[in-house]
Amino acid sequence: MAETATMEFRNGWRSLAGSMLGLAIGVHALPFGTSGLFLGPLTRTFGWTRAEASFGPTLLFLCLGAIAPIFGTVIDRFGARRVILPGLLALTLFFVALSQTTGSLAFYYGTFIAVGVIGVGSATPTYTRIVNARFRAARGRALGIALIGTGLSSAAMPPLLSLAIDAWGWRAGYFLLAGVVALATPVVLALLKAEDGAKAAKADDAQVPFPTILRDPLLWGLGLIFFLVALAVGGFSGHFVAMMTDRGFSAVDAARMMGAGGLFLIAGRLVTGFLIDRFFAPRVAAVIMVVSAAGFLLIAQSGPGVAVVGLVVAGLAFGAEIDLVSYLVARYFGLAAYGRTYGILYAFVVVGTAISPTAYGWCFDRFGSYVEVLHGAGILLGAAAAGFLLLRRFPVLDGSASSKSSIVGGEVHA
């Protein structure tokens, strides 16, 4: 007998809580979500440009994107839980190493490259694999709850980190991040110990072979859509503090605004999860993209009050690409090759996210403001919305090799 949504939450709360905390401290959350607070101190200390300082996170996510499809094979074969500890240990050492930066861009960039390779076990695919395997009736809601971990980081860490940097300097800020990861790691492992998502995945009835998935145009269409979304939003959080201080806000006030944006991100992910459990997910995604585009256009306006309203609107939609990748992979292709399939789409997201911070920095260096790049982001999100509207209905995944759907052609079912 299949579990109801209530039963799934009752029986799977430990893996859900562990995944949420793991995502909050993971390589996709802390290095990228807090990098904006270090832009000013690093450029003042070492004379780097904003584009140079932003290129560290770019390298990190390029490495994550390159290794994600390969790492997906490891997750599919051995399970997700086994790779989490090495990833979190690598992330702890990463922040310690950054605290020792001496002005060498080679050292700075090399540190980001190293954690992009070694710390991949703490990235989003690991935890979404666990959640997708444990939850089916409430899959959208469960993913939304787990993925608010990154929103919790966005809400809690910027104000605390800003105070630490103001009081003790940016090196102390990196030590603070290392301590947070080190203290939370045992809790994550304890919560996930009771349930291994790899075992739960064997009971799933969706078994689309990986070669069939690779031949499906839907996979590559989704990749393009998610690349556009990531390119639009990936650099925003890293430049938001600088964006607001350029408009006259103090660094502390800008960090508080960034934290408030994290709260709206949490609300947006919960609402998204609720909606995709009840409505056709690509149409929900199209609406989210339009809302996010409107937020970017509002932020581009000169008035600080309008920018705050834009942050509220955009915050409701930020991070949706990760929620949607996780959900759509499971619904369109199943879990038999989830790690590899997610890894391919995650690579598209990561490449877009990696390019975006440098693009934001380059646009500022070129035009002297962020207005142009915010307008461009709105256009990209509009294109992504159109792409989501082209997606077909979900197929009935019955374990046969022929079960598939595509953007064009093919008989599919709701």
**CA-CA distance, 273 to 139, in Å (whole number)?**
8
Q: Nearest to residue 270, comparing CAs of 321, 320, 342? A: 320
The reply to whether 398 falls in a domain is no
Per-residue confidence (pLDDT) for residue 404, from 0 to 100: 43
Q: Which two tokens stand for residue 161?
A: 């980190």
Query: Can you give the pTM of this predicted structure?
Result: 0.79
pLDDT of res. 223:
96
- Residues in the chain predicted with pLDDT less than 70, given as ranges, are 1-2, 194-207, 259, 262, 302-305, 315-319, 396-414
User: Is residue 400 a part of any domain in this protein?
Assistant: no
The sign of the torsion formed by the CA atoms of 70, 90, 360, 162 equals positive
Q: What is the pLDDT of residues 222-235, one digit of tens each?
A: 999 999 998 998 88
Q: What does each C-alpha distance from 377 to 45, 51, 104, 230, 352 come to in angstroms?
A: 30, 18, 32, 10, 12
Q: What are phi and psi of 337, to 5 degrees?
A: -120, 35
Q: Is residue 147 part of a domain?
A: yes
Which residues pair with residue 334 across a beta bridge? 207
Instruction: Say if 29 falls within a structural domain.
Output: yes
Q: Which domain holds residue 285?
A: 5-389
Q: What pLDDT shows up at residue 22? A: 95
61, part of any domain: yes
What's the mean pLDDT when you consider all of the chain?
84
* Percent of residues, the chain, with pLDDT higher than 90: 35
In a domain, 404, yes or no: no
For residue 227, give the nearest of 55, 349, 315, 139 by alpha carbon: 349
Residue 28 maps to which CATH number?
Answer: 1.20.1250.20
Q: Which of 57, 51, 68 is nearest to 30 (CA)?
A: 57
- State how many domains the chain has: 1
pLDDT at site 26: 93
- 405 lies in a domain? no
281, part of any domain? yes
**pLDDT score, position 410:** 36
